[in-house]
Chains A and B, each alone.
Chain A
């Protein structure tokens, strides 16, 4: 027991004294969350748009007023002609031009259908989509308000109703994504690197020759990183709810529970990687390219898995972060309970058991 505590204490010293790494590990998620939080409020709030209104009737003007009244858009220009659109967008400040055709009010009231044209700067496709969705939402609302609900046949434009995230707030995807990524980074890479460091510096041999139990070695190596990752999880959750107003709708206990399973698996993976190489650099490269990239690409938080080719979709099933990301999003954002994510929890548990088993086995055979 005393060996164990001495080892944990040593690990904690390593972590605390390497303050640069510590700063990066805790700093990255904080910076990401802050940056995202503020960048979001600058970009999608008060986005500059232009209006080209051929109707200039009562309906069109009230629509424009309503758009201006929203916090999302700022109308900076009223254009005169179609030719001016391209010039305005090319300057880059104005992200979208809304064209209201002539006879907007007439069309809407008498033909039950009117059209709006949105010309968007597509250089940032994500933002363009977001802007279009915002405008659609405002138009819907405008419709409901001016014409009343019984005027439903009078359609301006139909838009999807977004469940859970009606404003399409990206931090709802982003926060669980950052959590998955950072936990993967801390647990897998840090564990792998710290063990390989012992090998590289020659301490490993001495430890193996000592009466210390290899199992105690593994546990005391992984323990501090487990604590560190739970601390980081807490920081991210707190920051995102305090600063970004991302709700934590589900059970906090469930979030931590699922995270523990995921983190243990990541630690196991780190241990497995540490048995593959004797150089810190290599361990880092394996962790980064072998884990970080697939985690980013196939967990579904950056690129929708549904739109990938089938082989890649199948491949994504092998990425633990995908299941973790889904569970966290389900619990945090949708407020779902354990009965809705038991399948994901089960899959994560299988991953964790497999990784830990392999790492124990590898550790033992290394002695032979």
Chain B
């Protein structure tokens, strides 16, 4: 096993009856990189991410996440990953601090560690004055940042994000990506699915999924060269229009 890889898959497949949602995908994600996972709706992104997070058992193939096998050590994987969904997963009827406290405890931090990590998080986000504010009263952009910070509060090796910027304005999205860079800078591997092509440009490498298969995988720069286009948008369009299902 390569110690430099955070995620490694080999022929990973998921079938639901006759339907092959994810069709033998193989790729590696290098430790500390920002790995973009692109695809139209229904291309199999979410199913793939669910298998990697231990939420769904693969039908075939191999995969290790943070060095642990997805079949045998799902529990170990859960300890070493963070997860942020499109919906942010914060509780609207809990305060900022209560949300931090709850998730930190769920991720297995003890009281002292929660206090420490929580304080650091609040200072970094500048949310110290808002600790007793209900999350429902926070602006969307703040919620998103808070959700991301909470997803990595236990300093996981990898953080998975399933379309984390859906429904957010471009400015907020940019600020959010700055946070992702910060996390990546301290060595956290970032695995992010998106269908915003400008975001794809921010990634170190991207995989483009079409009909359950990975059709292309490289850095945005190389992909653009390969497909003779000047934007990721165009690259994606060239690949995605081949899709049979959508």
**B164 → chain A closest CB, angstroms:** 11
Known: A2-B105, A3-B108, A14-B91. A209 touches B98 (CB 8 A): no
Q: Does B53 contact A (CB under 8 A)?
A: yes
Q: In whole Å, how far is B42's beta carbon from the nearest beta carbon of chain A?
A: 18
Given contacts A6-B105, A13-B98, contact A201 B87 (CB under 8 A): yes
- Interface 1/0 per residue, B53-92 and A, CB below 8 Å: 1111100000000000000000100110101111111111
Contact A203 B91 (CB under 8 A): yes
CA distance A17 to B93 in the complex (A): 7
Contact A10 B57, beta carbon cutoff 8 Å: no
Q: Chain A residues with Cβ under 8 A from B90's Cβ? A: 203
- The reply on A368 being an interface residue by CB < 8 A is yes
Across-interface contacts of B93 in A (CB, < 8 A)? 13-14, 17-18
- Is residue A7 within 8 Å, beta carbon to beta carbon, of the partner chain? yes
Distance A113 CA – B241 CA, assembled complex (angstroms) = 98
Instruction: Give the shortest distance, in Å, between B6 (CB) and chain A (any CB).
Output: 16
Q: Given the known inter-chain contacts A14-B93, A203-B89, please indicate yes or no for A3 contacting B79, CB distance below 8 A.
A: no
- Given A13-B98, A208-B55, A7 contacting B106 (CB threshold 8 A): yes
In the complex, A202 has a CB within 8 A of chain B: yes
Contacts of B98 in A (CB 8 A): 10, 13
Is there an interface contact between A202 and B110, defined as CB atoms closer than 8 Å?
no
In contact, B89 and A202 (Cβ under 8 angstroms): yes
Which residues in B have their C-beta under 8 angstroms from that of A309?
Answer: none
A210 close to B85 (CB less than 8 A): no
Inter-subunit contact A209/B81 (CB<8 Å): yes
Chain A window 202-218, contacts with chain B (Cβ cutoff 8 Å), 1 for yes, 0 for no? 11011111111000000
- For the complex formed, measure the closest distance between the CB of B207 and the CB atoms of chain A, giving whole angstroms: 21
Kindly name the residue among A2, A9, A13, A205 whose own CB sees the greatest number of chain B CB atoms within 10 A.
Answer: A205
Q: Which residue on chain A has the smallest CB distance to residue B93?
A: A17
Query: Contact: A368 with B83, CB < 8 Å?
Result: no
CB distance from A197 to the nearest CB of B (A): 10
Minimum distance in angstroms from B51 CB to a CB of chain A: 11
CB-defined contacts of B55 to chain A, threshold 8 Å: 205, 208-209, 367
Q: Judging by beta carbons under 8 Å apart, are A205 and B94 in contact?
A: no
Q: Write the chain A residue with the least CB distance to B53.
A: A209
Q: Known contacts A10-B102, A13-B94, A206-B85; decide if A368 and B108 are in contact (CB<8 Å).
A: no
Find out whether the CB atom of B89 lies under 8 angstroms from the CB atom of A206. yes
Let me know if A367 and B56 touch, CB within 8 A. yes
Check B101–A6 contact: CB distance below 8 A. yes
Considering the complex, give the chain B residue whose CB is closest to the CB of A6: B105
Interface size class of B (residues with CB under 8 A): 20 to 34
**Contact: A368 with B57, CB < 8 Å?**
yes
A106 to chain B, nearest CB (A): 78
Name the B residues within 8 Å of A5 (CB-CB).
105
Residues on A with C-beta less than 8 A from B111 are: 2
C-alpha gap A3/B66 in the complex (Å): 23
**Residues from chain A with Cβ under 8 Å of B37 in the complex:** none
B107 interfacial by beta-carbon distance below 8 Å: yes
Residues of A within 8 A of B89 (CB): 201-203, 205-206
CA A366 to CA B214, docked complex, whole Å: 27
Check B78 against A10 for contact (C-beta < 8 Å).
no
Contact A211 B75 (CB under 8 A): yes
Contact B87 A202 (CB under 8 A): yes
Inter-chain CA distance A135–B106, complex, in Å, is 66
B residues near A212, Cβ cutoff 8 Å: 106
Chain A hits for B92, CB < 8 A? 201
Q: CA–CA, A201 to B54, complex, Å? A: 20
A366's nearest neighbour on chain B, judged by CB, is B55
Q: Given that A206-B83, A209-B83, A368-B57 are known contacts, is A10 also in contact with B108, CB under 8 Å in the complex?
A: no
Which residues of A are found within 8 Å of B108, using beta-carbon distances?
Answer: 2-3, 211
The reply to whether B101 and A202 form a contact with Cβ atoms under 8 Å apart is no
From A207, which residue of chain B is reached at the shortest CB distance? Answer: B106
Per the bound structure, the CA–CA distance linking A259 and B81 in Å amounts to 42
**A1-54 with Cβ < 8 A to chain B:** 2-3, 5-7, 9-10, 13-14, 17-18
Q: Are A211 and B107 in contact (CB under 8 A)?
A: yes
Within 8 A of B (CB), among A197-249: 201-203, 205-212
CA distance A14 to B103 in the complex (A): 15
28 example contacts (A-B, Cβ-Cβ < 8 A) are as follows A2-B111, A5-B105, A6-B101, A6-B105, A6-B106, A7-B102, A7-B106, A10-B102, A13-B93, A13-B94, A14-B91, A14-B93, A18-B93, A202-B89, A203-B91, A205-B83, A205-B89, A206-B103, A209-B54, A210-B83, A210-B107, A211-B75, A211-B79, A211-B106, A211-B107, A211-B108, A367-B56, A367-B57
Q: Besides the contacts A203-B90, A208-B55, what 6 more A-B pairs have beta carbons closer than 8 Å?
A: A2-B105, A6-B105, A10-B94, A13-B98, A205-B85, A209-B83
Interface residues, chain B, CB within 8 Å of chain A? 53-57, 75, 78-79, 81, 83-94, 98, 101-103, 105-108, 110-111, 151, 160
The interface of chain A, by Cβ under 8 A from chain B, is 2-3, 5-7, 9-10, 13-14, 17-18, 201-203, 205-212, 367-368
Which 6 pairs show the lowest CB-CB distances between chains A and B? A202-B87, A6-B105, A206-B89, A209-B83, A211-B78, A203-B89
